[in-house]
Amino acid sequence: MEYAIKEVPSASLKQKNLENLKFGEMFTDRMFVMEYSPKNGWHNAKIEAFHNFSFSPATMVFHYGQEIFEGMKAFAYKDGKVAMFRPMENLIRLNSSAERLCMPKIDADFVFKALCELVKLERGWVPAKKETSLYIRPAMIGTDPIIKVRSSDNFLFYMILSPVGPYFSSGSKLSKIQVEDNYVRASKGGMGFAKTGGNYAASIKAGMEAAKKGYDQVLWLDAEERKFAEEVGSMNIFFVIKDTLVTPALNGTILPGVTRKSVIELAKHLKIKVEERKVAITEVIEGLQNGSVSEVFGTGTACVVSPVGTLGYKGSNFAVGNGEIGKYSSILYDYLTGIQYGQKDDLFSWMTVL
C-alpha cells in the first residue's frame, strides 16, 4: 500500500506561535487520513492539509461511540533532530483496541512509515522549549451514515499533530487526587483496556464532582468491590511502598500504558524493585498514615511521571510524603525525559529518530 502526499500551498500555512503552549488546542498544517470499506480494505491513504470533515448527522460514531484513539509524542533534540517515543507500542495498542470495538486493524508498519513522513514534514511545529513536545493523536471512527445499532462497515483513520506544553500548567506540581468509591470507570468484560472515547465519557461526571471539591483527578477503584486501586483518569498509578514500586497488575479493566511499561522496564534496569499486583486502597491509606507508603505518582504520555501530593478518601485527605516531589518520582521523571529529549543514552532503543 502507498500513501499520497498532497502539497499544502505555502500561502495557506498557519502562523506558528509556539510560545505559552497549552495542551491540545493547536494543530499543525497537515494530517494523515485513510478510509476503510469492506470491499477495498484500507485505501485512499494520504497526507494532506489539516481540514474539517463533513459527515451525515446519522454517522454511527456520533450515536454509538465506535471510536478508538492513541496518544504519543515527538521531541526536539538539541541537534535539530526530531524523535518519537515508542510509536510502535501505540500502533500495536490501537490494534488491540480495534479488536475490542470490532473495528478493522491497521497495518502498523505502513502507518508507522506514514507517521514518520508526516512528522518530518511538520518538524517546524515541534517545539524546542523544556517540557514541550509534539503530541500525536491517531484516531479511528465508524462512518456509516446509518443509525441502526450494529458495527459500522466503513471507517476513517486519521492522525493529527498538536504542539503542546506541560500537561499540568497550574503552578503546583503535586496533584490532589480523590479516590472514587462511588462511580466506576470499567468492569470485567468491559472495555477498560481499550483506548476508546466511551471510557472517557463514562468518567467525566466523577472528574467534575471531584474538581468541585478541589481535586485534580480521581483514582478509580475496581468495579466489583471498590477495594483495589486501578488507575487515574488518563494515567496509570504507582505507589512506593518500602522502596518497592507497586502498581496494579493489568487485569483487563486497566489501560496498559506505554509509560507504565517503560517505568517498569527502567526501574528494573536501575535495580529498583517493582511489583505488579492487586493494591488494596486500605493498604495505601494505612501506609500513608504509618509512613510505609512514601510516594504516589501517575504515569502517562501527556504528563510522563506526575507526583501526587494528596489522596482524598471517604471525606478525609491524606498527605503523601512531605509535600515535595519524592525520590523515585524525580529519578524516573529525569531518566525518562532524559531519554525522550535525547540527553541520556537511549539504552532500550525506545526512540525513533527522524
Ligand X SMILES: *Cc1c(COP(=O)(O)O)cnc(C)c1O
DSSP H/E element including 264: helix 258-269
Q: Which residue type occupies 81?
A: K
Rounded to a whole number of angstroms, the minimum distance from the CB of residue 267 to ligand X is 15
Rounded to a whole number of angstroms, the minimum distance from the CB of residue 258 to ligand X is 3
User: Of 154 and 299, which CB lies nearer to ligand X in the complex structure?
Assistant: 299
Task: Classify residue 199 as left (phi > 0), alpha (psi -120 to 50) or beta.
Answer: alpha
Binding mask 180-199 for ligand X (x = CB under 6 A): ---------------x----
Rounded to a whole number of angstroms, the minimum distance from the CB of residue 200 to ligand X is 7
The reply to whether 235 sits near ligand X by the rule CB under 6 A is yes
User: The dihedral of CA 95, 97, 99, 102: what is its sign?
Assistant: negative
For ligand X, the binding residues in 251-310 under the rule CB under 6 A are: 255, 257-260, 299-301
User: Of 36 and 167, which CB lies nearer to ligand X in the complex structure?
Assistant: 167
Q: Pick from 222, 231, 283, 295: which binds ligand X (CB under 6 A)?
A: 231
User: Of 59 and 90, which CB lies nearer to ligand X in the complex structure?
Assistant: 90
The reply to whether 97 sits near ligand X by the rule CB under 6 A is no
Rounded to a whole number of angstroms, the minimum distance from the CB of residue 301 to ligand X is 3
Rounded to a whole number of angstroms, the minimum distance from the CB of residue 198 to ligand X is 11
Rounded to a whole number of angstroms, the minimum distance from the CB of residue 296 to ligand X is 15
For 271-277, which contacts have Cβ atoms below 8 Å and span 24 or more sequence positions?
A: 272/243, 272/244, 272/245, 272/328, 273/243, 273/244, 273/245, 274/244, 274/245, 274/246, 274/247, 275/244, 275/245, 275/246, 275/247, 276/247, 276/248, 276/249, 276/250, 277/246, 277/248, 277/249
Rounded to a whole number of angstroms, the minimum distance from the CB of residue 207 to ligand X is 12
The reply to whether 329 sits near ligand X by the rule CB under 6 A is no
Q: Which residue type occupies 218?
A: V
Give residue for cell 525520590: 327
Q: How far apart are CA 263 and CA 267, in angstroms?
A: 6
Question: Stretches 43-51, 206-214, 233-241, 267-275: which one binds ligand X (CB under 6 A)?
Answer: 233-241
User: Of 30 and 195, which CB lies nearer to ligand X in the complex structure?
Assistant: 195
Farthest-apart Cα atoms in the chain, separation: 63
User: Of 47 and 139, which CB lies nearer to ligand X in the complex structure?
Assistant: 139
Closest CA to 331 of 302, 301, 307: 307
User: Of 142 and 257, which CB lies nearer to ligand X in the complex structure?
Assistant: 257
Q: Pick from 234, 247, 337, 352: which binds ligand X (CB under 6 A)?
A: 234
User: Of 90 and 152, which CB lies nearer to ligand X in the complex structure?
Assistant: 90
User: Of 60 and 191, which CB lies nearer to ligand X in the complex structure?
Assistant: 191
DSSP letter (8 states) at residue 91:
H
Closest CA to 221 of 263, 254, 266, 173: 254
The reply to whether 248 sits near ligand X by the rule CB under 6 A is no
Rounded to a whole number of angstroms, the minimum distance from the CB of residue 289 to ligand X is 27
Write the DSSP assignment of 290-348 as a string of letters: HTSEEEEEEEETTTEEEEEEEEEETTEEEE-TTSS--HHHHHHHHHHHHHHTTSS--TT
Count the site residues for ligand X by CB under 6 A. Answer: 14
Rounded to a whole number of angstroms, the minimum distance from the CB of residue 199 to ligand X is 6
Q: How far apart are CA 128 and CA 105, in angstroms?
A: 34
Q: How far apart are CA 97 and CA 65, in angstroms?
A: 13
Rounded to a whole number of angstroms, the minimum distance from the CB of residue 71 to ligand X is 6
Contact 183, 205 (CB under 8 A): yes
The reply to whether 236 sits near ligand X by the rule CB under 6 A is yes
Q: How far apart are CA 233 and CA 248, in angstroms?
A: 15
User: Of 61 and 68, which CB lies nearer to ligand X in the complex structure?
Assistant: 68
For ligand X, the binding residues in 41-80 under the rule CB under 6 A are: 71
Query: Site residues (CB under 6 A) for ligand X?
Result: 71, 195, 231, 234-236, 255, 257-260, 299-301
